[in-house]
Structure 1
């Protein structure tokens, strides 16, 4: 009898633990890998998705289900895939605040969203590896094997593929092969990486589309144009309203941002006090639209008008 009571008690505890991670907007089939991610990751994901789902572009985030996977190496980062039915509707990348890792217990580490996106594709979409020939269709069943690893530096998402005694590094957004191991390369400097991330204390103010989606590679005249002088978020926001299309490029750091980037809008989030965080809307088609911290680009690149 005591053993039966103990088993019932453990079962009730397990059911309660799972339910505590199921957000109000999620469907009954919600997938939560709660064994691989701490509770604060779920809280940040739930809050961010609830905020984004207020806007039509993110309508498929309503009644969605989530699949959460850890990213390496040692960044305390997680990839959140948002599913509507069996289809991907978008993603979030959630990362631990570095000072929080160093100063607090694991259960108290602060997690923030460093990037998010919407569309039927995503960063780390395995289909990209097969369509571009990095892996063969015969290897498709080995998605969860040691053929590749998903890694994240805090700026760049990439795969490490071990194949035929060779190692290649592939951009997880574009599918481009990277020139070398990102761990061996110098990252772009940032004044304060935490100030352009969002968490549970942020609420979305607006999402604005300032131009139709476009592909910067279709017309390369912008490459020989004079960069637009932009040194602040306010200047970039104003320019997005006066210029038809803007392109971000960085001669030294394009790899880290999957650049050049075609900018078609922005999102602004209100933080504690009077602080705000802005993200640029980038992408060439509806299958994958990414939102990247605006400050991250201003510090390490240039902006050009798309010349027609």
Structure 2
């Protein structure tokens, strides 16, 4: 079961989506939820406990927040906090270390490849906003006056196909929940204390340069857990098949971390990417629902 903790949204839902961080655009319940995740992550990495959290709403109607954790100018990690149709907050993904989603340097490089300058865009009145689309597509939307919008993958800086992103934004079927609807779906908060194990890392690689996995059968869920926990030195690839656009994949498995309560595993988060993209830790249950894992050497 994916680690989900439920909160009632007790303050007015934010509608602004400014690029600058602010604590005021996140409801108190989101901040409480974020702090619970920080407490858990801080057990294995004390830097989380000393970090300051900054909240960035992820576009209008997405009901998600990018939470940046840092100590002064040193990034500690990030979290994506989302809400499901039942009004439950969940940790969609997180990352640790200085490489984060929505990195301004990566954005600047992506814009330069399009012969654009970020400072000029901002002074010209153009908009650059963080966006997030289910299941796990993190991207920048660049809206220019009298020009088509640009969509840039926030994990690797790649330009995303305009037609598909426009369909996602206008017809994805993402339901918008108002405060009244959410209040009718209040669940009692789960205050159980979670623990995290140290992160187990393994070298990232480029799946496109080692194509033997394409000829192998996908691993069964029980095999994936066994590979991660017992044979973590063996290279694995995650492919979300038709959802690969949303993951920036196929991606190498580059680590994992166990979340537990009372000594028993509650969830396992898998690290994806890290070579040509940001390493992102995502719930194994979510990954198994969206795609398959393959061995490099079947």
Residue 194 of structure 2 corresponds to 203
Structure 2 stretches lacking a partner, 5+ long:
1-19, 174-188
Q: 1:68: Cα distance to partner?
A: 0.7
Q: Which of 104, 120, 132 is 1:126 aligned to?
A: 104
Shift of 1:90: 0.9
Cα distance change of structure 1 residues 127 and 36 upon mapping to structure 2, 3 Å threshold: same
Q: 3-state SS of the aligned residue for 1:36?
A: coil
Which residue of 2 is the match for residue 166 of structure 1? 148
CA offset at residue 137 of structure 1? 3.9
The two structures, once aligned, show a CA RMSD in angstroms of: 3.3
Please, which runs of 5 or more residues in structure 1 have no aligned partner? 1-30, 101-109, 188-197
Counterpart Cα distance in 2 of 1:35 and 1:280 = 31
The residue number in structure 1 matching 2:169 is 183
Partner Cα distance (1:144, 1:296) in 2: 40
Q: How high is the TM-score relative to the length of structure 1? A: 0.71
Counterpart in the other structure of 1:104: none
Of residues 126, 132, 153, the one that matches 1:152 is 132
Q: Given the alignment of the two structures, is residue 54 of structure 1 paired with residue 35 of structure 2, yes or no?
A: no
Q: Per the alignment, do residues 184 and 215 of structure 1 end up closer, same or farther by CA in structure 2, a change over 3 Å counting?
A: farther
Once the two structures are superposed, the pairs formed by residues 259-270 of structure 1 within 5 Å of their partners are 259-270=249-260
Equivalent position of 2:184 in the other structure: none
CA distance, structure 2, for counterparts of residue 229 and residue 138 of structure 1? 43
1:279 is paired with a residue whose SS is strand
Q: Which has the higher contact order (CA 8 A, sep 6+)?
A: 2
Taking the TM superposition and a 5 Å limit, the aligned residue runs for 1:231-246 are: 232=221, 234-240=222-228, 241-242=230-231, 244-246=234-236
| Larger Rg, first or second structure (1 or 2) | 1
Tell me, yes or no, if the aligned pair for 2:240 and 2:250 is still in contact at 8 Å. yes
**Residue 220, structure 1, aligned to residue 210, structure 2:** yes
Using the size of structure 2 for normalisation, the TM-score is 0.73
